[in-house]
Chain A
């Protein structure tokens, strides 16, 4: 049994490293998350990601993802497509007024909305689903 490993502290065979997720040493099945998400220690992202139907990606100012609530492949896909858009928006705004700079970008479609907030040293991307009711403009 694996319990003997945990109990014997004095024996020399305890050179074994204890695994951080003691799933196998307990009798009952524990709902312990085996993988570590990129936002594990981040209460801000945790709070917002639990609101449902939202995907959050935080990148640094160069576009390198720091925290993400989507699968990594999709995160990289989104960032690789959105970073040029952000740069393009910035260029557009600067062309019209050199002292101006983008702070926020919002793209909206029928059922999805992409919000991009540009801070001084970060980029926050939120992709959320919209509900069905929407005022019809005639």
Chain B
């Protein structure tokens, strides 16, 4: 499945690579990759949960994007982090895809790892 247009190219291989690399990181619980229209392309969650997450967070990301455009100077959102009591969700719009990662944000200050 190639999604080719202006750069950057985000092909299926790229998606797989992102998927693999993020899952290697510690503390990652779930990953969800959306295509341009917000449909989940690759995910570790179950289908209906993935759809629900995708829908809600993509909507929220749109609103944040609108806010960033209202700042001066207007900026494009590069990353969005929502920290809750139990986990942390990182949303990264990236060209044709959006990467959504759910991770468990432990306090690593005592472990001296960044």
A10 to chain B, nearest CB (A): 58
A99 to chain B, nearest CB (A): 8
Does B80 contact A108, Cβ atoms closer than 8 Å? yes
Does B75 contact A110, Cβ atoms closer than 8 Å? yes
Does B80 contact A106, Cβ atoms closer than 8 Å? yes
Chain A 58-69 interface mask (CB, 8 Å, partner B; 1/0) = 000000000000
Count A-side interface residues using an 8 Å CB cutoff: 26
Q: How far is the CA of A106 from the CA of B68 in the complex (A)?
A: 12
Does B83 contact A105, Cβ atoms closer than 8 Å? yes
Residue B20 CB within 8 A of the other chain: no
**CB nearest to A117 among chain B residues:** B83
Does B80 contact A92, Cβ atoms closer than 8 Å? no
Given contacts A103-B83, A103-B85, contact A110 B76 (CB under 8 A): yes
Q: Which of A95, A100, A106, A127 contacts B86 (CB 8 A)?
A: A100
When distances are taken between beta carbons in the complex, the residues of chain A under 8 Å from B83 are 102-106
A59 to chain B, nearest CB (A): 16
Residue A75 CB within 8 A of the other chain: no
Q: Mark the stretch among B33-41, B53-61, B106-114 that contacts chain A.
A: B53-61
Residue A88 CB within 8 A of the other chain: yes
Does A92 contact B63, Cβ atoms closer than 8 Å? no
B70 to chain A, nearest CB (A): 6
Q: How far is the CA of A85 from the CA of B76 in the complex (A)?
A: 17
**CB nearest to A82 among chain B residues:** B67
Does B79 contact A108, Cβ atoms closer than 8 Å? yes
Does B82 contact A81, Cβ atoms closer than 8 Å? no
Does A89 contact B82, Cβ atoms closer than 8 Å? yes
When distances are taken between beta carbons in the complex, the residues of chain B under 8 Å from A92 are 56-57, 59-60, 82
When distances are taken between beta carbons in the complex, the residues of chain A under 8 Å from B1 are none
Does B85 contact A109, Cβ atoms closer than 8 Å? no
Q: How far is the CA of A109 from the CA of B85 in the complex (A)?
A: 24
Chain B 62-75 interface mask (CB, 8 Å, partner A; 1/0) = 01100110110001
When distances are taken between beta carbons in the complex, the residues of chain B under 8 Å from A42 are none
Give 7 nearest A-B pairs by CB, closest first. Answer: A109-B75, A104-B83, A106-B81, A108-B79, A92-B56, A100-B84, A107-B64
